[in-house]
Amino acid sequence: MKEKLVLIGNGMAGVRTLEELLLLAPEKYDITVFGAEPYGNYNRILLSPVLASEKTVDEITLNDEQWYIDQNITLHKGKNVTRINRAQRKVITGDDLETGYDRLVIATGSSPYIIPVPGHDLPGVITFRDIADVNAMLDAARQFSNAVVIGGGLLGLEAANGLMKQGMSVTVVHLLDSLMERQLDKPAATLLKTSLEQRGMHFLMEAQTKAILGDNRVKAVQFVDGSELPADLVIMAVGIRPNFELAKSAGLYCEHGIVVDDTMQTYDPRIYSIGECVQHRNKCYGLVAPLFEQAKVAANHLAHIGISRYEGSITSTKLKVTGIDLFSAGEFNETEGDEALVLQDPSQGTYKKLVIKDNKIKGAVLYGDTMDGTWYFQLMRDETDISDFRRTILFAQHDLGDAGHGDEKTRVMSLPDNAEICGCNGVCKGDIVNAISQKGLFTLDDVRAHTKASSSCGSCTGLVEALLAGTVGDGFDATPQKKSMCDCTTHAHDDVRKTLIEHNLKTIPEVMNFLEWKNPDGCNKCRPALNFYLVVAWPDKYADDYRSRFINERAHANIQKDGTYSVVPRIFGGETSAAQLKSLAEIAEKWDVPTVKFTGGQRIDMLGVKKEQLPGIWGDLSNAGFVSGHAYGKALRTVKTCVGSQWCRFGTQDSTSMGIRLEEMTWGSWMPHKVKLAVSGCPRNCAEATIKDLGVVAVDSGWEIHIGGNGGIKVRVTDFLIKVETMDDVLEYTAAFLQLYREQARYLERTAPWVERVGPHYIKEQLVDNTENRKVYAARFHKSQKYSQDDPWKQRAEGEDAHEFTPLKLIKEVA
Amino acid sequence: MSNWIEVCALEEIPPMGARVIEQMNCNIALFRTRGDQVFALNDRCPHKGGPLSQGIVFDTRVACPMHDWIIDLASGEACGPDNGCTNTYPVKIENGHVFITLTENATAAA
């Protein structure tokens, strides 16, 4: 028989836990849900747009009743659980319905705090928490004209904005002298107040409520100084309190909330708790992103996987008032020892402040231009050292060499529905917005799975994130997390890699076993990554797992859209000869190659070769002296050169020879992603070395080495590493840089994002400042090359992996 | 009912791998899982016709090499949220030999 799981609280945190659980263990439990509200699960954070008539209740519904039926979940809506009998393991509702449980999840959320002043219970005094409150407000707006909102925090301002949109005259009363003091510093709060005043909102600051006046219905609000404000509707929005009375009455340990450990378990091991009602490591959360993280952890333990831990969240806030962009995270008021970077442009209504300590971001407040909020938040979470770009950090991420799509959530949101967002998959803005609102998507991964937008080259990721943020508001799970490698594991790339070295794991099954992979086969995401990490860790011992290679690396050729392959022989440094060209021409003719084309990397591409022809054509190429160009691999691709001092009247050094030596040293090496090098013979840089993974530019006195460039998806100009004197120096630095990249970048991370992530100064520290270290890395690269500079084409022409290239035939028919 | 046609010995298909049977109209991909189950599907992804036989095999699924659609080997169906289905063929293994019939499974007649 299935175990019984009961969920008290049909809100976002509780139902998210069920969704996560159903993904992990769909058949494990008989599930019963109790919800006090007479609705299915809806997106509470979108109540503000409902109040502002920008959305309907249907539009913010996450799980309708059919969902519960489809999942075989018993839903008791509109029922309050009043008691938990832990000894007999059952919950009891107000109308004496008893339900037994094996596991219980308490997700009772929070309630608005009501100031206990005289008159607080008069009709017309309400809070802003659920659909009933919104309906009461909409109702009042139709009959009355004066509203007073007590509380100038996030929720109060959103309520005030909604009521104003409904035509009421609204005054916000705030106890302190600055709005949203928990999210904003004074300058930002002043900008916000001015902007809201321009829209017609009134404010009464530093005012303490003494009483609410009225007979049958509220008439006015009275303050401590004796003044009064007329009011037909009073909204109390001064804060929330975790709902833990039920848990407490059942004898569960509570302080400010229900106390849980890192597995979201309460003091009763059969009972879990998540959401706004819990207290975890002395913190209570009232935002959605942490709740979702908690839900994931609780589901993991309910499914008996038991390896996931919640370690607390750093949160960020945005205000959901249309037309006002505001972002805040971390410690935004500087204290002693902190520095504040501030950019203020009053006429444009923008304000940006970053609080910095030891070159790391501690907090951020953005007003007017919040485009870079997610980025600052990521830098803060990752504790990235910002010294490399500190001078420009306030001027937006795209000023740091991101020449992608530029700025503005607002601009993206105001695009027409048929504007193409994802150029790879042809996905328009309307498709994305519809998928987000109709399917209730919250994360970038959700949107990628459902629409394919941003799932290919990723250059539109910023735009898709902007659409997510604009469509779901705070529901957008922008919280950067340590991402797991794939759904087969909860471990992140760097952790897996560290573990396989520390514990001496030498095969993919060993790694999966040790780290308790959920799926013994892994998947098409994790297996190629593991294979690469093992290749780098154990160059002399690891036997490459052919089945974990993407087809291009398995067949050593590039698969084309019609299933044929392309063949690109290596032409060292791009320098060829008449004899070489002649033999290529003869081979292309002999095998009837449909298309022959020059590549961008100074070599020759033969396209349209059938798979079974590959070993034959490779045999001929091998006999003519060619080796594989690895144009198909996460590997060293080309070394592009200009002619240099041998011919060019401007050339300062022999760049072609340098390129050939570099390619001879590096060919055959597997990399986290493709790697392209270039050598230019003078600063005119005809080989375009400054948009390569590693570029060498000759000057009269030696060679400049540049790193981390990219000419593709997002153009990035290289960072200058060092100037050296001799060709041998260039070779040593290149070997060391490539090995550092191989050992430390994540699989499928190109040098450009890697250099940005770790910072160019880190690479200088490792390779320039520390000579010993550089020599060690270079030596490890050369050791690895001993095992990888074995031409894969020659091996296969001689019969290796023959089954890969030979189709089967039907043998005989039997009755 | 159906006519079984012998194709190859089981060990001619690499575990967690595939072989291709060339056919006039549409090639057939023959997959072998780690647990030695064998599946036969049209070698065409329902998305844009990519050759499924060239994909990475895990569990009873294959990732199409073209655009990463995941196809269930037993049903031929794309795994959600993608939608689409490729034809499957009955397979049997006898004495280490693999047989298929060229009548498409009814469930996959979409």
Segment A408-426 mean pLDDT: 74
Query: B58, A449: Cβ pair inside 8 Å?
Result: no
**Nearest residue in chain B measured CA to CA from A446:** B81
8 Å CB contact between A29 and A21: yes
Cβ contact, residue pair A550, B59, below 8 Å:
no
Burial track A60-96 (b if 16+ CB lie within 10 A, e otherwise): bbbbeeebbeeeebebbbebebeebeeeebbbebeee
Q: Residue A692 in contact with residue A755, Cβ under 8 Å?
A: no
Which residues in chain B are closer than 8 Å to A814, comparing Cβ atoms? Answer: 3-6, 99
Contact residues, chain B, for A612 at CB < 8 Å: none
Q: For position A429, what pLDDT does the model report?
A: 87
**B12–A812 CB contact, under 8 Å:** no
A814–B50 CB contact, under 8 Å: no
Range name among A489-503, A651-665, B66-80, B92-106 with the lowest pLDDT average: B92-106
Q: The whole model's pTM is what? A: 0.66
Helical spans, DSSP H, in A314-460: 373-381, 409-413, 429-439, 444-451
- The whole-number pLDDT of residue A383 equals 85
Mean pLDDT of A104-124: 93
The predicted-structure confidence for A672-697, as pLDDT tens digits, reads as follows 999 999 999 999 999 999 999 999 99
**Contacts from A593-597 at CB under 8 Å and sequence distance 24+?**
A593/A567, A593/A617
Contacts of A576 (CB under 8 A, 6+ apart): none
> CA-to-CA distance for A124 and A762, rounded, in angstroms?
61
| Complex confidence, ipTM | 0.91
CB contact under 8 A, A527 and B59: no
Cα distance between residue B3 and residue A706, in whole Å: 65
Evaluate if residue A399 carries a pLDDT over 50.
no
| Closest C-alpha to A326, from A204, A185, A166, A140 | A185
CB A624, CB A583: distance < 8 Å: yes
Please name the residue of chain A whose CA is at the shortest distance from the CA of residue B33.
A521
**Dihedrals phi, psi of A373, to nearest 5 degrees:** -55, -45
Q: Do B34 and A803 touch (CB under 8 A)?
A: no
Nearest to A246 by CA among A77, A9, A4: A9
pLDDT-based confidence at A384, cuts 50/70/90? Answer: confident
Residue of B20, B33, B63 with shortest CB distance to A808: B20
Of chain A, the percentage scoring pLDDT greater than 90 comes to: 66
- For residue A400, pLDDT over 70 is answered with no
Q: What are the tens digits of pLDDT across the range A443-467?
A: 888 888 888 888 777 777 778 888 8
Contact residues on chain A for B94, CB-CB shorter than 8 A = none
Separation between Cα atoms, residue B9 and residue A766, nearest integer Å: 54
- Residue A475 binned pLDDT confidence (cut-offs 50, 70, 90): low
Find residue A505's DSSP bridge partners: none
pLDDT for residue A141 is more than 50: yes
Contacts of B20 in chain A (CB under 8 A): 807-808
- How far, in Å, CA of A572 to CA of A703, rounded? 20
Per-residue tokens: A758 = 């770790």
**Measured between CB atoms, which of A519, A527, A559 is closest to B54?**
A559
- Residue range A613-640, pLDDT digits in tens: 999 999 999 999 999 999 999 999 999 9
Confidence of residue B1 (pLDDT cuts 50, 70, 90): low
pLDDT band at A410 (very low <50, low <70, confident <90, very high): low
- Report the C-alpha gap between B72 and B77 in whole angstroms: 5
Query: In angstroms, rounded to a whole number, what is the distance separating the alpha carbons of residues A12 and A130?
Result: 12
User: pLDDT digits over A337-349, tens only?
Assistant: 899 999 988 888 8
Contact A334, A187 (CB under 8 A): no
- Selected residue of A808, A811, A814 to mutate for chain B interface (largest B Cβ count, 10 A): A808
Q: What is the mean pLDDT of chain B?
A: 89
Q: How far separated are the first and last CA of chain B, in Å rounded?
A: 22
Bridge partners, residue B8, by sequence: B98
Q: What is the mean pLDDT of chain A?
A: 90
